[in-house]
Amino acid sequence: MDPRERIVTSVSALLFLAAAAACVLLIPDERAVDPAVTLGLLLGYAIALHVRFEFAGYYGSPEQLVFVPLLLLGPLPYVPLLVAAAGILSLVPDIVRSSWHREQWLASFADSWLAIGGVLVLGVLYPGELDLAHVGVFVLAIAAHFASDLSWTLVRNLMLDRLPVREVIRGFSGTAGVDLILTPVGFVIALPAVDQPLCLLAIPPLVYLFHMFSKDRRERYSKTLELNRAYRGVVMLLSDVVEFEDDYTAQHSRSVVELVNAVADELQFDSPRRQELEFAAMLHDVGKIAIPKEILNKPAALTASEFEVMKTHTIEGQFMLDRVGGLLGRVGEIVRSCHERWDGTGYPDGLVGDEIPITSRIVFACDAYHAMTSDRVYRPAMAPIAALAELTANAGSQFDPSVVRALARVVERGEPVVSAADEIRAVLAGAPMPRNTSASISAAS
């Protein structure tokens, strides 16, 4: 922990201990509690905290399967302390492996506020034995439990992370969704356990089932990550080949990657497809490897027959990427359509409007803008304002109008800085794509 986090966590832990002590002193203890049941729930809670699984983009654990019975069957005044104790017990495996930090125990107290709300509601309204006649009180207690957890999450964010509140609530809703699903299961198990404590033995198999699912999911994710790294390695290899064959094409592709990412941000492009977009931007000209160099590097405008040969580079690019398959096979489909025009007069398939993948439309516009603003052997670079005017004039015929508008906003704010080769390699290896801009349109002119 950094000093600020240590202070916030320490204060939170002390305040929690004070609240837990107040619960012990002020809340009546009206339950006949079996010590063996309490001990079993304590150990079960500690074990459940070790099981982590991904759910709808967030991580959760089956701890609610144990927390609900502990709240409804355990010694009510001591439930907050038992929750904190379970958090400390969950550190034992890490202590054995010498992989824990001495401040983790402090976080166990600071993160136990979730137990306070439910205990207070039950202590005030119904501190007795679990009874269906008071189910409304139990529902209110669970609501207070979630409220306590959310309150601590918001306070911690205010003091430490300072993320947008909407983002914090979205993240909390993801993890709380897991708890909300498991809460009725915990209640159904706890209800008969009032008279038959052995019913609580239904909890360990469920926790173990979550453990097995979590383990299987981690293994699958690990394999997916390895495959993703392999794809990125292929992209880096192909970009090296492009650079070896034609330095302009390599530099051009890197700049298009930067523009494409900035435009995608402007269009609020969804992140699941962002990787395909970045790869397509980097490899949209990879098919030029198959184009004869006398055509590729001709210091004059191409003849009609030469241009027909040049047009085959999109199909050649798709063919190369199709041979890799998987993710790069999908990128190949984008590469194939990177010269389709909005009005249907593009190549190779004559797609019209929304028939063209949005990813291809973004790459096409950024590709054209950068080509116009770059020096070529047969013409000097255009000024950014002139290039934007050309794009705008052809919006609705050659280019998607919404993409052109987004690109114009990006350029008017300042063109993205061209990354060095090593930075592009870092991006393809997994680092986040830089979004900074520096050069204003006037400076670029």
Res 163 pLDDT > 80: yes
Res 97 pLDDT > 80: no
Q: So what's the pLDDT on residue 247?
A: 47
Q: Helix crossing, 421-429 with 203-245: angle to 10°?
A: 150
Which has the closest alpha carbon to 267: 401, 385, 434?
401
Q: So what's the pLDDT on residue 271?
A: 64
Mean pLDDT (whole number) for 75-86: 95
Which has the closest alpha carbon to 290: 266, 310, 307, 265?
310
Res 439 pLDDT > 60: no
Res 71 pLDDT > 80: yes
Q: So what's the pLDDT on residue 234?
A: 65
Residue in the block written with tokens 């008017």 = 412
Q: So what's the pLDDT on residue 259?
A: 86
38-56, pLDDT tens digit by residue?
999 999 999 999 888 776 5
104-130, pLDDT tens digit by residue?
778 888 889 999 999 999 999 998 888
Res 308 pLDDT > 70: yes
Res 442 pLDDT > 50: no
Terminal Cα-to-Cα distance of the chain (whole angstroms): 48
Res 431 pLDDT > 70: no
Q: So what's the pLDDT on residue 282?
A: 81
130-156, pLDDT tens digit by residue?
888 899 999 999 999 999 999 988 998
In terms of pLDDT, which residue wins out, 60 or 238?
60
Res 397 pLDDT > 90: yes
Report residue 38 as tokens.
């309490």
Residue 74 phi, psi (nearest 5): -75, 175
210-225, pLDDT tens digit by residue?
889 888 877 877 766 6
Domain 231-444 CATH class label: mainly alpha
Report residue 317 as tokens.
């690019």
Buried b (16+ CB within 10 A) or exposed e, 158-188: eeeeeeeeeebeebbebbbebbeebbebbbe
In terms of pLDDT, which residue wins out, 177 or 354?
354
Query: What percentage of the chain has pLDDT greater than the value 90?
Result: 40
Bridge partners, residue 379, by sequence: 376
Burial environment of residue 1 by CB neighbours within 10 A (0 to 12, 13 to 18, 19 or more):
middle
165-219, pLDDT tens digit by residue?
888 888 888 888 889 999 999 999 999 998 899 999 999 999 999 889 888 877 8
Res 444 pLDDT > 60: no
- For the chain, the structural domain boundaries read 3-195, 231-444
CATH (residue range 3-195): 1.10.1760.20
Q: Determine the distance from the C-alpha atom of residue 60 to the mean position of all C-alpha atoms in its chain, rounded to a whole number.
A: 15
Measured distance CA(416)–CA(435) in Å, rounded: 7
Residue 300 phi, psi (nearest 5): -160, 170
Contact 61, 52 (CB under 8 A): yes
Report residue 46 as tokens.
């500690």
**Sorting pLDDT into bands at 50, 70 and 90, what band is 258?**
confident
Contact 403, 236 (CB under 8 A): no
**Sorting pLDDT into bands at 50, 70 and 90, what band is 425?**
very low
Amino acid at 439: A
When the pLDDT of each residue in the chain is averaged and rounded to a whole number, the result is: 82
In terms of pLDDT, which residue wins out, 323 or 220?
323
Measured distance CA(443)–CA(384) in Å, rounded: 10
**Sorting pLDDT into bands at 50, 70 and 90, what band is 421?**
very low
- Work out the number of other CB atoms within 10 angstroms of the CB of residue 23: 20
Contact 356, 301 (CB under 8 A): no
Mean pLDDT (whole number) for 327-341: 90
Contact 28, 57 (CB under 8 A): no
Res 25 pLDDT > 90: yes
DSSP 8-state assignment for residue 351: -
Measured distance CA(423)–CA(271) in Å, rounded: 21
Report residue 195 as tokens.
């008279």
- Residue partners of 87: CB distance under 8 A and separation at least 6: 46, 49, 107, 108, 109, 111, 112
